[in-house]
Amino acid sequence: MDAFVGTCLLGFYGRHGLLEEAVWAFEDMPCKSLVTWNSLIYLLGNHGFAENCVFLFRELVRMHCTLSEGSFVGVFSALSCQQDFEFGEQLHALVIKNGFKCEVPVVNSLISMYMKCTGICLAEKIIEEVTFLDVVSWNTMIGAVAKTDRPQKALEFFTKMSMDGVLPTETTFVSLINCCTHLEIPFYGESFHVKIIQHGLESNVFVGSALVDFYAKCDNLESAQRCFNEIYVKNVVCWNALILGYSNNYSPASILLLQEMLHLGYRPNEFSFSAALKSSLALELQQLHCLIVRMGFQKHEYVLSSLITSYAKNGLISHVLVFLTDSDGLLAAVPSNVIAGIYNRIGRYNETLKLLSLHEKHDIVSWNIVIAACARSGYYEEVFELYKQMHLIQVLPDNYTFVSLLSVCTKLCNFSLGSSLHGYIIKIDFSSCDTFACNVLIDMYGKCGSMDSSVKIFEEIKEKNLITWTALISALGLNGYVHESLERFREMILLGFKPDGVAFTAVLTACRHGGLVRDGMELFGKMKMDYGVEPEMDHYHCMVDLLAKCGHVTEAETVISNMPFPPNVIIWRSFLEGCKTHGAAMDQAAGHL
């Protein structure tokens, strides 16, 4: 068998995924051309056999063969993780030595390799140095950074791409829309939607699915539905995106969409059912459960977890327990963790431990559930004992673990323990500490009286949310920085955050501690009128306490009389303490204690 025929046969096997046969064909060839070597290197690299691919490339170099573009493209396709980075740099030097540094296919594979091996800066450097980049080069860069913690870079690359006169493809727009979804910036997504229409790609299933997902996650279901209708040939991905969008808004349309999907001959997958289960009511849930069984998804962990969660959410705890009795103690880790989590939330601590004890091996989720259950039930010593056991068996803690541990430190007001834990988080990698964990740190330091630490963590958080701002506002008010607390509240609103009931409790508490009557009354008046937040018992208590302690007894009494529900004992006690010099008012308040 000559080299040409053998290479064709190798390529045929490769295209059909028959890797063993492709290797046999390669080994049986007495005379191999460079194209033959390159074909097998590329084939092995694309299928994830990095070691074999690199071995063949080194054999080529050892035999002093003249390397071609294809040799480098093939071996670069195999390098896909941080451990390959050093070897990738060595290959880059070899590319330059062989004079291929400006060849577009090699440049594209180099960029792809660096992006996969976390060498984004080097990939950007290549883009700056190369005189010509095609659409594949730009798509590689845009697609890669869209998945990192710097998705805004994708927008910058698109601008440069447009300035170079390179026309975008469907792949470009899919990455850009996914980037806008991640950034949660509707304006940019809508702008790209206009460009998609201009390029006639709105009916493309991949672009359309990305648009459906984008609008659904921006709570613009009308636009999501419109984009869905524009897609000519739909697939399960676009159906799932729309079903999930409606389901996240607790709309019954998600079930209707699933029914329509089945009626039109599309086969749902596990994500279709999980999305629909999210918004299912009791009657729909049982019908959906029957459909899941009929289509053979009842033992799929992801579907089973969603099913259990949905039963629990509908108050059908007895149905959840059926899953336990039917499983003979052999439930998979994921569904067991879900049931244990439900037990934990409803305060059944012993059942949580009993269920998780059925497993020989516990994953990090199981550990987190047990630690959270102990923390919720007030077994604070056990929380840290469990944490020590995790270390002993080398289970690495994650953000959920740290949230539970820091919450215990907050409840105990244990500054020393909390700061030690914070030090450990910094040691292992503070950059991996998500916003939720940082919010708990702000709260913990605030309640332990260390405002400098709270403010420092707040400033370091890249993606602040409403809870982040509320935690800082609360900490400032609690520690006597009432004017700073008010300033932060106003800054939060200027940045586009809409305060909720908890945020108003935090800022009104600050006003109460600082005796800021005018500011407190103004904020209380704006709650419902400007922000649509109905005042609750805590808000009324803040106002009554503020007014009564500052001598505005009549106004405090007016607030109480205008309450839409009966005041509790705490409100009457605050009123009584604040108006001791007003006998009639005292008699009224004392009658409710």
pLDDT in tens, 235-265: 999 999 999 999 888 888 888 898 899 999 9
- Give mean pLDDT, residues 528-557: 91
Say if residues 284 and 273 touch (Cβ distance below 8 Å).
Answer: no
Q: What is the pLDDT of residues 437-483, one digit of tens each?
A: 899 999 999 999 999 999 999 998 888 889 999 999 999 999 999 99
- Is the CB of residue 245 less than 8 Å from the CB of residue 272? no
3-state SS string over 402-441? HHHHHHHHHHHCCHHHHHHHHHHHHHHHHHHCCHHHHHHH
Of 38-47, 187-196, 489-498, give the lowest mean pLDDT range: 38-47
Mention every residue, 6+ apart, whose C-beta is less than 8 A from residue 517: 511, 546, 547, 550, 552
Residue 565 Ramachandran class (φ > 0 left, ψ -120 to 50 alpha, else beta):
beta
Number of H-type helices and E-type strands within the chain: 36, 0
Mean pLDDT of the chain: 82
For residue 424, what are the contacts with CB-CB under 8 A and spacing of at least 6?
none
The whole-number pLDDT of residue 319 equals 61
Report for 101-105, 310-314, 381-385, 496-500: range of highest mean pLDDT: 496-500
Tokens linked to 240? 């799932």
User: How far is it, in rounded angstroms, from Cα 140 to Cα 563?
Assistant: 60
15-19, 24-28, 461-465, 527-531 — most confident range: 527-531
Confirm if 389 and 370 have CB atoms less than 8 A apart: no
Greater model confidence, 508 or 77 = 508
Q: How confident is the model at residue 584 (pLDDT cuts 50, 70, 90)?
A: very low
Q: What are phi and psi of 297, to 5 degrees?
A: -100, 5
pLDDT winner (highest mean) among 124-138, 152-166, 198-212: 198-212
**Does pLDDT of 380 surpass 70?**
yes
pLDDT in tens, 200-232: 999 999 999 999 999 998 889 999 999 999 999
Max avg pLDDT among 30-44, 112-126, 331-345, 467-481? 467-481
In eight-state DSSP terms, residue 30 is: S
Q: How far is CA 292 from CA 243, 320, 379, in A?
A: 16, 16, 40
Give the pLDDT score at 479: 95
Looking at CATH, the fold of the domain delimited by 1-132 is given as 1.25.40
Banded pLDDT at 330 (limits 50, 70, 90): very low
Q: What pTM, to 2 d.p., does this model score?
A: 0.57
Helical H segments across 130-169, by residue range: 135-145, 152-163
Region 272-276 average pLDDT: 87
Closest of 185, 244, 192 to residue 218, by C-alpha: 185
Whole-angstrom distance, CA of residue 538 vs CA of residue 83: 54
| Residue 119 pLDDT exceeds 80 | no
Mean pLDDT of all residues in 353-380: 69
pLDDT confidence tier of residue 341, bands split at 50, 70 and 90: low
Tell me how far apart the alpha carbons of residues 130 and 59 are, in angstroms, rounded to a whole number: 30
Domain boundaries, the chain: 1-132
The pLDDT score that the predictor gives to residue 356 is: 53
DSSP string, 347-361: T-HHHHHHHHTT-SS
472 by DSSP, 3-state: which?
helix
Residues 6 or more apart in contact with residue 233 via CB below 8 angstroms: 205
Distance of CA 224 to the CA centre of its chain: 21
Alpha carbons within 13 angstroms on the beta-carbon side of residue 7 total 14
Structure tokens at 23: 């290797």
